[in-house]
């Protein structure tokens, strides 16, 4: 691990059979690696035990004692250690997948005072409805959502061989990564200086 780099966790939000999400996430991870400002980790929600039945208490107050399944431990520690996130999400029925909502709801403090960027894909709207909902939800968890992100409308014609065809996509990604890096540095320093008053 490189000491001075902030940790960026890229979350693959869809877990559907035959999903496209990993193609997008892997390209974003490559761009983030080239950016140079982060230590990059891709967390794929597929294969992680994320039950829909939550414990009685809220994760907000339970802290480290929250009774999560053993099969969720790697996800929890990746979220805990992250300084920044990129959520890669498709659009399902004008929102984001239930897998992503479940992963979000099992955690609370792991999101607090950390920046989140979005890369979405879908039909005509490019997953923007999903991102609008995610912005709303993550604000409730005291995360800081980043304005600039990427949306890929009609992703089925917009990608070839694991790459987006839009020549502007790497530039948009760099802008998002620059903003994420700025917030990651600022918020890490702030979290280290004083507990967030949530």
Binding residues for ligand FMN, rule: CB under 6 A, are: 14, 16, 19-21, 90-94, 122-123, 125
Cα separation, 63 vs 49, whole angstroms: 19
Minimum Å gap between C-beta 100 and ligand FMN is 11
Matching residue, tokens 């982060």: 38
CB of 99 to ligand FMN, least distance (A): 9
Select 4 or 93, whichever has its Cβ closest to ligand FMN: 93
CA dist., res. 135 & res. 16, Å (int): 22
According to DSSP, the residues that pair with 9 across neighbouring strands are: 41, 85
Residue 159: phi and psi, rounded to 5, are -130, 145
CB 61 within 8 A of CB 128: no
**Shortest CB 177 distance to ligand FMN, Å:** 22
Of residues 59 and 122, the one with the C-beta less far from ligand FMN = 122
Assign 113 to helix, strand or coil: coil
59 vs 164, beta carbon nearer ligand FMN: 164
Q: Is the Cβ of residue 151 or residue 180 nearer to ligand FMN in the bound state?
A: 151
In the complex, the smallest distance separating the C-beta of residue 91 from ligand FMN, rounded to whole angstroms, is 4
| Whole-number Å distance between alpha carbons of 198 and 195 | 8
């Amino acid at each position: 691990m490189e000491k001075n780099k902030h940790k960026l966790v890229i979350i693959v939000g869809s877990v559907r059979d035959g999903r496209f999400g990993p193609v997008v996430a892997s390209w974003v991870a490559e761009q983030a690696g080239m950016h140079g400002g982060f230590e990059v980790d891709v967390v794929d929600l597929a294969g992680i035990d994320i039950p829909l039945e939550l414990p009685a208490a809220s994760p907000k107050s339970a802290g480290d004692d929250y009774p999560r399944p053993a099969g969720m431990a790697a996800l929890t520690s990746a979220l805990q250690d992250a300084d920044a996130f990129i959520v890669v999400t498709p659009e399902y029925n004008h929102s984001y997948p239930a897998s992503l909502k479940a992963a979000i709801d099992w955690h609370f403090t792991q999101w607090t005072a950390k920046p989140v960027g979005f890369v979405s894909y879908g039909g005509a709207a490019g997953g923007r409805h999903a991102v609008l909902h995610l912005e709303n939800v993550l604000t409730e968890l005291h995360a800081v959502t980043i304005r600039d992100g990427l949306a890929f409308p009609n992703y089925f014609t917009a990608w070839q061989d694991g790459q987006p065809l839009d020549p502007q996509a790497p530039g948009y990604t760099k802008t998002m990564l620059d903003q994420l890096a700025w917030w990651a540095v600022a918020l890490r320093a702030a979290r280290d200086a004083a507990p967030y008053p949530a």
